[in-house]
Amino acid sequence: MASSLTTASQSPAHEKTFLGHPIGLATLFMTEMWERFSYYGMRALLVLYLVSGGVDAATGSQGGGLGFKMGVATAIYSVYVAMVYLMAMPGGWFGDRVWGARKTVAIAGFVIMAGHVALALPGQLAFFGGLLLVAVGSGLLKANISTMVGHLYKGADDPRRDGGFTLFYIGINLGAFGAPFLIGTVGEVVNWHLGFLLAAIGMGLGLTVFLVFGRTLSPRSSIVPNPLSATERNGIIVKAVASFAIVAAFYGAVTAMGMFTINWALYPITIAGLIIPVVVLVRIKRDKDLSVPEQSKMTAYIWFFVAAAVFWMIYDQGGSTLSLFADSKTGGILGWTPSTTWYQSLNPLFVMALAPVFAWMWLWLARKNQEPNTIVKFAMGLVLVGASFFVFVVPMGMAGDGTKVSPMWLVSIYMIQTIAELCLSPVGLSVTTKMAPQKYASQMMGVWFLAVTAGDCTTGLLSLAGVDLNGTWIIGMQAALAAAAGLAVYMYRKKVQSLMGSVH
């Protein structure tokens, strides 16, 4: 925050500003804050609604949910989160080649709002249709709104640029922090569908801000950088229609034979979420247009990608495995029992509190020539996220006989995971831009998000295979895997650094 305030003098005197930044940043800040409010509020309710009314619901919880078992609920949650990040890549493509960033974000807002409205309706068809719409819309928006922040500044050398992205990141976490208290509480205590409706209202507020104050945005955001030719457009339409027809015919036949279950949808998506990242990485790695140094950097990048997938496999269970544990096995403190959804506010709270500390710490260490390099930071993130699940084993063991454990166990786990995130996630974004081959410069951020897809789809596949992710042994196994991956990255750091060339 300080950096953004101290650069106010850099803006022209006649320019309207937001804390010293182009006024359009306020528009994007509010749009993203309300979009994240809707997304994280709905996500806080998701697994609780999925198990509500079934054998795995917490004692005394309201009914009215879908009554799935924990394993299926975890799989659905994991596949949904994976889809959000999977759709970021085609979302960026639409912004670059079809609608432009500004129009894509506007359309995405309407799609997300429609998805939340569908979730507010009873019935499985409306629910899963709503999830699909929210995933597609979130992917479209996520890939383009950050690009629009960059459009507000005059080139990469604008001294306000980093501070602007910092403010934008605060907006994300403000929305994520507040949502579980309002949407989560109303949905969990009053009515599930009313909670989902509040998420729709949140997205509606963000969309209203975006449309009403759109004049404050850069004209560059309305330009389609690389529009499709008529031939390309026709070819894509034909392929899309053919693919849709094949999928519709297949599922129509399965349904007609009375064979359709939720697994017929979950398995293909989960497997695709594991195959697509591999195919994309292999295609880039084998591209003959890449120079020798670019090939070498892509080999090093695969190390970071696999490490990130392991990290997100554990980290994203904060909204599924940890949430279900909080719902059924966590008690109160000093006579007060927090709402289960409130735990989802811990991560954004810790991010806002600790991110400035980490930024200062890395600069302080850099001045002393002691700042860990990218590889070491990745190793630290993996070991720490593994440590969070080693800690998780303790309360799981304590709750094995039905004992309710202290909420402070979950507070400590979420804090450790946030520290791990701050070691790995910002560094991963940075190293992705630094190591991207020139030919794929605009696509590599989508490739980074595919690591999230791969990690979440691994969790989903384990759940579908019948592995009890709420069991002590599997929690310990995941913790050991992350710690081992972190140690492997550290042990081979010199080899990876040599492949990275001049990138540090």
396 — pLDDT class (breaks 50, 70, 90): very high
Cα–Cα distances in Å, from 399 out to 34, 56, 389, 409, 471? 37, 15, 15, 12, 11
Q: According to the model, what pLDDT value does residue 2 have?
A: 34
Mean pLDDT for all residues in the chain: 88
Residues 222 and 370 in one domain: no
Q: What angle (nearest 5°) sits at the alpha carbon of residue 322, between those of residues 321 and 327? A: 100
184 falls within a domain = yes
Verify that 204 and 313 share a domain, yes or no: no
Number of domains in the chain: 2
pLDDT at position 29 = 92
96 or 34, higher pLDDT: 34
Same-domain status, 185 and 77: yes
The answer to whether position 93 is within a domain reads yes
- Residue 260 inside a domain? The answer is no
Cα(356)–Cα(348) distance, integer angstroms: 13
- In tens, the pLDDT along 42-95 reads 999 999 999 998 877 776 677 788 999 988 999 999 999 999 999 988 888 888
User: 135 in a domain, yes or no?
Assistant: yes
Q: How many angstroms separate the CA atoms of 153 and 15, rounded?
A: 12
Asked if the structure places residue 261 within a domain, the reply is: no
Same domain, 335 and 449: yes
- What is the CATH number for 93? 1.20.1250.20
Instruction: Determine the pLDDT at residue 162.
Output: 67
Question: What pLDDT is attached to residue 89?
Answer: 85
pLDDT interval class at 9 (50, 70, 90): very low
Query: Residue 229 corresponds to which tokens in the numbers above?
Result: 């030719």
Q: 176, 198, 227: which is the final residue of a domain? A: 227
Structure confidence at residue 442 as a pLDDT band (50, 70, 90): low
pLDDT score, position 320: 92
DSSP 471-487: SHHHHHHHHHHHHHHHH
Half-sphere exposure of 472 (CA within 13 A, CB side): 10
Asked which of 205, 227, 249 is the last residue of a domain, the reply is 227
Establish if 136 belongs to a structural domain: yes
Which domain does 12 fall in, by range? 1-227
306 shares its domain with 207: no
pLDDT, mean of residues 456-466: 92
Higher pLDDT, 124 or 429: 124
| pLDDT tens digits, one per residue of 182-195 | 999 999 999 999 99
Q: What's this model's pTM, rounded to 2 decimal places?
A: 0.89
- Residue 254 placed within a domain: no
Domain end among 227, 250, 270: 227
384 and 301, same structural domain? yes
Q: Are residues 204 and 295 in the same domain?
A: no
Q: What is the DSSP letter of 436?
A: -
Residue 107, domain member (yes or no)? yes
Claim to verify: residue 326 and residue 473 sit in the same structural domain: yes
pLDDT at 88: 87
Within this chain, do residues 140 and 70 fall inside the same structural domain, yes or no?
yes
pLDDT digits (tens, 9 = 90+) for 10-55: 444 456 777 788 889 999 999 999 999 999 999 999 999 999 988 7
Report how far Cα 387 is from the mean position of its chain's Cα atoms.
21
